[in-house]
Chains A and B, each alone.
Chain A
Amino acid sequence: MIAIVDYGAGNLRSVAKAIEKLGYSYLVTAEPERVLEAEAVILPGVGAAGEAMRSLERLGLVAPLRQVIAEDRPFFGVCLGLQLLFAATEEGGGERCLGIVSGRVRRLPPGLKVPHMGWNQVGHKIRHPIFQGISDEANFYFVHSYYGEPEDSSLVAGETEYGIPFCSMLVRGNLVATQFHPEKSGELGLQLYHNFLLFGGVRRG
């Protein structure tokens, strides 16, 4: 069973439909116990980081999420779900996040339209089975105003250019996180979820 974490931060239905289309069963849940017993956890999210953190705290989800990742169980963070992994974000005048990945979340530089919205290329920075069937510089769908900057650059699996090059995908063991939305990126987005679940050893059905 795959737990899709529901903490009131949108686009759950799209993620759920994508997982369903791939033939996996899932549970949309806010219960810490369900998250802890899941084979894989997906943390989606759009909206404000500060509000999202407060929701996770209120629902008692902070410790379970840290535990799932500490045990290196398959975990996928999407968009805000990537940013929340960092120690802190510049958003909202500075907010503390989960502190699972060292580094911080910064605002996209001025001079270009914000949010960065639309299809942009993800360049592969590592060779990894997560990219199976996905060519270097393939397009994925982005909607965001902030980006995560890991201290350890070896965690950067995918890089995208928007005024500056930024980390659009990070991989650390079974932890995968994307700044783009695979569930809105057509066939290649589905392929990415498929790869994540396949290499995470999650059973279909």
Chain B
Amino acid sequence: MLTKRIIPCLDVTAGRVVKGVSFVQLRDAGDPVELAALYDREGADELVFLDITASSDERRTMVDVVAGTAEQVFIPLTVGGGLRSIDDMRLMLEAGADKVAINTAAILEPSLIRRGADKFGSQCIVVAMDAKQVAGAPYMASLSNPSPRWEVYTHGGRRPTGQDAIDWATKAVSLGAGELLVTSMDADGHQTGYDLELTRRISEQVEVPVIASGGAGTLEHLYQALVVGKADAVLAASIFHYGIYSIRQVKEYLAQRSIPVRL
């Protein structure tokens, strides 16, 4: 049976992990390569590197980080943040990334999804989207409002696009996205749980895998995203970086609750 994937996300700027903590096992908690290797040993199913500076002069640093990781870590690696062109994608894939995640650039230029998929294969192209529930609508579906809506934002959640998240998800997949990384801006950073309704609607709508992101604070939250949200994978940053839970703990908990995981 296909297992559910647990994916730690590392925010990287200028070659350093942003929200790192001092893991006792690490000599340098800010070194993304060392942290990636630790997560691999703990049983991470994949890794995501998000380049949060993404200025062009620092892109080179990210290439080195990816190349250094690919030397030591033999699990799938996705790289995102500031990728705007086929050349940007190629740079990361040639450095050793298995997938590239595009967000703002995909919205501004949807044909980039198709061109990337044609060039490198759909399995390489992850479309990441930041979605925020439209104001006035209740957080969860209810009888009075059975159809909450979510709007897609770009530029790290700063700019509304007017695009409906479900519509965009459908379009991205029709253009060739092989996977969707769905981040709830309402939930992100609050550690109060994933947006289950958003995740479920998109997961039921598309035939490609969906990674839930934003809001993980407890083990139960991860379980809910997989069961209620019907996500194929869960991404989390803070709970791993701050050492609240180890990946091993997450997996043992999910296994106890009969979720298929790789132990």
Contact = CB atoms under 8 A, between A and B. Distances in A.
Decide whether A and B assemble into one complex. yes
Interface of A: 10-11, 13-14, 17-18, 21, 46-48, 113-121, 139, 141-144, 161-162, 183-187, 189-190
| 4 nearest A-B residue pairs (beta carbon) | A47-B121, A139-B262, A119-B262, A143-B123
Interface in B37-57: 40, 45
Main secondary structure of the interface of B (DSSP, over half): loop
Contact residues on B (Cβ < 8 Å of other chain), bracket = 20 to 34
B209 interface: yes
Contact of B120 (A47, A118, A144): A47
A10 B120 contact: yes
B98 interface: yes
Contact of B74 (A18, A46, A117, A121): A18
Nearest to A79: B123
Contacts of B262: 119, 139
Given A13-B94, A115-B122, A139-B3, 16 more contacts: A18-B74, A46-B120, A114-B207, A115-B123, A115-B209, A117-B232, A118-B4, A118-B232, A118-B233, A120-B1, A141-B75, A161-B1, A162-B2, A183-B74, A184-B98, A185-B75
Contacts of B208: 113-115
Contacts of A18: 74
Nearest to A138: B262
B96 A117 contact: no
Most A CB atoms within 10 A — which of B1, B121, B207? B121
Nearest to A161: B1
Contacts of B121: 10, 46-48
Nearest to A162: B2
B204 to A, nearest CB: 11
B226 interface: no
14 contacts: A10-B121, A17-B96, A18-B74, A46-B121, A46-B123, A47-B120, A117-B209, A118-B3, A118-B5, A118-B233, A143-B76, A184-B75, A185-B74, A186-B74
B81 interface: no
Nearest to B99: A143
Contacts of B93: 10
Contact of B76 (A120, A141, A161): A141
A100 to B, nearest CB: 23
Interface string B191-220: 000000000000000011100000000000
Given A120-B1, A184-B75, A14 B96 contact: yes
Interface string B123-145: 11000000000000000000000
B10 interface: no
